[in-house]
Amino acid sequence: MENEEKNQTEQDEKGQSVWKELWDYAKIILVVFVIAFLLGHFVYINARVPSGSMEETIMTGDRVFGNRLAYVKDDPKRFDIVIFKYPDDPSQLFVKRVIGLPGETVNIVDGKVYINDSEEPLDDSFCPEAPEGSFGPYTVPEGCYFMLGDNRNHSMDSRYWQNPFVEKDAIEAEVAVRYWPLNKIGTIK
């Protein structure tokens, strides 16, 4: 009888030990998920680029991380590549390059971008082909930005949107790193 009680006690202790160990693993997994959730909502954003509007800089299907903290203290700068809520449908995220800053007038003449009354166009050597067409002028309101894709002839950007300007609050992150495809891992500028 004593052996049966002793065996029963040992089995109860083993059962409790297994449950304690499982609970410890569950806590670790929960902490990892909470940390990943917080990082994903407050520190970085993961995005897949669905179109060719930023080619050759970012290719269709590339995956990038954006830094959500980039504009906490600073404002976006010209030529930054950002992830933002599309002004005509905020449920969609877009990736484009900042071209016009608050208070500036953007004028596109024969594919060349001019800021305010400058006689020198912006350096758009990152564009894969010479942009076509004339657009504007667009006067960028305070707290807003004018965006263009690098693949200008194949980009639905500020030139074509019903609401051509992106408010600073709609900018989710600055694109920081391409992590897919693996052979192109690195920072993006």
**76 CB neighbour count, 10 Å cutoff:** 20
- Catalytic, 134? Answer no
Asked about 6 being catalytic, the answer comes back as: no
Active-site position among 6, 17, 27, 53? 53
Q: Residue 140's closest CA among 163, 186, 106, 109? A: 106
Respond yes or no on whether the N-terminal peptide bond of residue 5 is cis (omega within 30° of 0).
Answer: no
Q: Which residues fall within 8 angstroms of residue 117, CB to CB, at 6 or more apart?
A: 105
Whether the Cβ atoms of residue 53 and residue 151 lie closer than 8 Å to each other: yes
- Separation of alpha carbons 35 and 8, rounded Å: 41
Distance CA 118, CA 33 (A): 51
Among 73, 77, 85, 96, which one carries the catalytic annotation? 96
- First-to-last C-alpha distance (Å) of the chain: 77
**Which residues are known to be catalytic?**
53, 96
